[in-house]
Amino acid sequence: MLTTKKTIRRQFILDEAAKLFKEKGYGGTSMRDLAGNVGLEAASMYNYIKSKDEILELICQRIAGIYISQLAEIEQTPQATYAAKVEALIRLHIRLMVEEGPAVSVANHDWKYLPEPQLTAFKQARKSYEQGFARLIEQGVAAGEFQALHPSVALFTILSAVRWVELWYRPGRELSAEELENDIVAMLLSGLAK
Amino acid sequence: MLTTKKTIRRQFILDEAAKLFKEKGYGGTSMRDLAGNVGLEAASMYNYIKSKDEILELICQRIAGIYISQLAEIEQTPQATYAAKVEALIRLHIRLMVEEGPAVSVANHDWKYLPEPQLTAFKQARKSYEQGFARLIEQGVAAGEFQALHPSVALFTILSAVRWVELWYRPGRELSAEELENDIVAMLLSGLAK
DNA sequence: TGCTTTTTCTAACAACTGTTCGTAAGAGCT
DNA sequence: AGCTCTTACGAACAGTTGTTAGAAAAAGCA
Question: Does the distance separating the beta carbons of B192 and A193 come in below 8 Å?
Answer: no
Measured in angstroms, what separates residue B51's CA from nucleotide C2's C1'? 36
Give the bridge partners for B193, in sequence order: A146
Closest nucleotide relative to residue B9's CA, C1' based:
C7
Where are the alpha helices (H) located in chain A, listed in sequence order?
5-24, 31-38, 52-76, 82-99, 101-109, 116-142, 151-168, 177-190
| First vs last C-alpha separation in chain A | 56
- pLDDT tens for A143-180 read 999 999 999 999 999 999 999 998 888 877 888 889 99
Instruction: State how far the Cα of A47 lies from the Cα of A10, in Å rounded to an integer.
Output: 9
- pLDDT tens for B137-154 read 999 999 999 999 999 999
Question: Residue B175: pLDDT above 80?
Answer: yes
Q: What is the mean pLDDT of residues B73-89?
A: 91
Question: Residue B3: pLDDT above 70?
Answer: no
Question: Does the distance separating the beta carbons of A183 and B188 come in below 8 Å?
Answer: no
Size of chain A, expressed as the number of residues it contains:
194
CB within 8 Å of B14: residues ≥ 6 apart: B49, B55, B58, B59, B103
Find, in chain A, the residue whose alpha carbon is nearest to that of B168: A156
Taking a C-beta distance cutoff of 8 angstroms, is the pair A93, A162 a contact? yes
**What domains are defined for chain A?**
1-49 (1.10.10.60), 59-190 (1.10.357.10)
